Amino acid sequence: MVLERECQPGRVGVLLGGPSSEREISIKSGKAVSRALRSRGVEVVEIGIEEEVREGLAREALDAAFVVLHGRFGEDGQVQALLEKMGVPYTGSGVEASRLALDKAASRAVFRGCGLPVPETVLVRNGSAPARLPFPFPVVVKPSREGSSIGLGMARDREELEAACRTASAYDRTVLVEPLIAGKEITVGILGDRALPAVEIIPSHPFFDFEAKYTPGVSEFLVPARLETSVAERAARVALSAHAALGCYAYSRVDMLVRPGGDPVLLEVNTIPGFTENSLYPRACAAVGISFEELCLELLRLARIRGRN
């Protein structure tokens, strides 16, 4: 897959850092992207996002922006709206798709409306645990608008539920409580209009929390996932449908569980997944022969296409 001839992006700003709880992961992702683009001769300037965002971007006179800001400000549509006002083409999904995808409560409402399989969910506000649940323990508790499993917890009884709701509400005023679903954890990447091979996640923890994601050796990843062909195809269809339902553009990574009987359950869509060379999305690309450098160039190419429309 040779893309250099198609991509003449000019001066590219790699936007990294940001104010979210995923700042350190964003910096690692951004530096990996910068190295990859520079290795292909692209003029790159790294822009650490702090307070004076508009002034910093304007000073750099960018031809394109590669957005690697995980979590709030990067994945909630704010920086995308700013770049659109400045007329700077950028990688990934637009303002509304980004906002919806980061908000699990809002995106699940969209998925349900499209008939996609999502967990039964109870919404909690202001840190108070629900008086009763329509499903048994154990349950999973998570903030509605966080990524990288920040604030994620599991509860096996009422006392643990109350503690988990308090922890999650420190990150967002809306908290999701859902049943702990048995099955394989997988993630399916989308690139353009195709689904990449599913990655199977085998964490040593009860579920794929922050430590399991980012501590080397804690989790095992298999590409492709150990799924029957029909199940893998079904998961790919769900991933493509979820990506389209939110109006995502160019790429995303769709997380789901596959029940023992083979039925996928959709959890969330990540519009800016991890972008280090060992992250799950680049692993899926590598499995079909797309190198990390080629992937970065392709996303810039797609950004330029949208910028011309």
pLDDT digits (tens, 9 = 90+) for 124-158: 998 889 999 999 999 999 999 987 578 899 999 99
- Tokens 């659109």 belong to which residue? 84
- To the query of whether residue 56 is one of the catalytic residues in this protein, the response is no
Q: Tell me the C-alpha to C-alpha distance, in Å, between residue 120 and each of 243, 266, 290.
A: 20, 11, 36
* Residues 134 and 82 reside in one and the same domain: no
- To the query of whether residue 51 is one of the catalytic residues in this protein, the response is no
* Residues 240 and 256 reside in one and the same domain: yes
Task: Tell me the residue length of the chain.
Answer: 309
- Supply the pLDDT for residue 241: 98
Higher-pLDDT residue of 56 and 306 is: 306
Looking at 178, 185, 268, 298, which residue is catalytic?
268
Q: Is the pLDDT of residue 263 over 70?
A: yes
> Of the residues 139, 156, 179, which one is the last residue of a structural domain?
179
CATH (domain of 186): 3.30.470.20
CATH (domain of 67): 3.40.50.20
- To the query of whether residue 249 is one of the catalytic residues in this protein, the response is no
Higher-pLDDT residue of 192 and 5 is: 192
Looking at 172, 255, 293, 294, which residue is catalytic?
255
- Supply the pLDDT for residue 27: 94
Looking at 29, 34, 148, 149, which residue is catalytic?
148
* Residues 214 and 138 reside in one and the same domain: no
- Determine the 3-state secondary structure of 16 from DSSP: strand
- Supply the pLDDT for residue 153: 93
Q: What is the pLDDT of residues 151-193, one digit of tens each?
A: 899 999 999 999 999 999 999 999 999 999 999 999 999 999 9
**Bridge partners for 194 per DSSP:** 191
Name the range with the highest mean pLDDT among 47-61, 109-123, 149-163: 109-123
Note down the domain range covering 233. Answer: 100-117+182-271
- To the query of whether residue 268 is one of the catalytic residues in this protein, the response is yes
* Residues 266 and 186 reside in one and the same domain: yes
In one letter, which amino acid is 50? E
Q: Give the contacts of 270 (CB within 8 A, at least 6 positions apart).
A: 75, 101, 147, 252, 253, 254, 255
- Tokens 């967990």 belong to which residue? 119
- To the query of whether residue 270 is one of the catalytic residues in this protein, the response is yes
Looking at 214, 249, 251, 281, which residue is catalytic?
214
- Strands across the sheet containing 153-155: 122-125, 174-179, 139-143, 153-155
Looking at 23, 253, 301, 304, which residue is catalytic?
253
- To the query of whether residue 76 is one of the catalytic residues in this protein, the response is no
- Tokens 């704010």 belong to which residue? 78
Query: Distance from first CA to last CA of the chain, Å, rounded?
Result: 25
Looking at 18, 21, 22, 146, which residue is catalytic?
22
- To the query of whether residue 173 is one of the catalytic residues in this protein, the response is no
Q: What is the pLDDT of residues 199-241, one digit of tens each?
A: 999 987 665 455 555 555 567 999 999 999 999 999 999 999 9
Name the pLDDT band for 74 (thresholds 50, 70, 90). confident
* Residue 43, domain member (yes or no): yes
Looking at 270, 281, 294, 304, which residue is catalytic?
270
- Supply the pLDDT for residue 3: 43
Higher-pLDDT residue of 257 and 19 is: 257
- Supply the pLDDT for residue 309: 63
* Residues 207 and 131 reside in one and the same domain: no
Q: Is the pLDDT of residue 289 over 60?
A: yes
- Supply the pLDDT for residue 245: 98
Alpha helices in the chain (DSSP H): 23-39, 53-60, 78-86, 95-102, 104-113, 158-169, 210-214, 229-245, 280-287, 292-308
* 0.75 exceeded by pTM: yes
Looking at 200, 274, 293, 298, which residue is catalytic?
274
* Residues 45 and 65 reside in one and the same domain: yes
Relative to beta strand 153-155, strand 139-143 is antiparallel
Name the pLDDT band for 61 (thresholds 50, 70, 90). confident
Name the range with the highest mean pLDDT among 56-60, 274-278, 298-302: 298-302
- To the query of whether residue 220 is one of the catalytic residues in this protein, the response is no
What is the DSSP code (8-state) at residue 192?
T
* Residues 195 and 110 reside in one and the same domain: yes
Which candidate, 46, 56, 48, places its Cα nearest to that of 83? 56
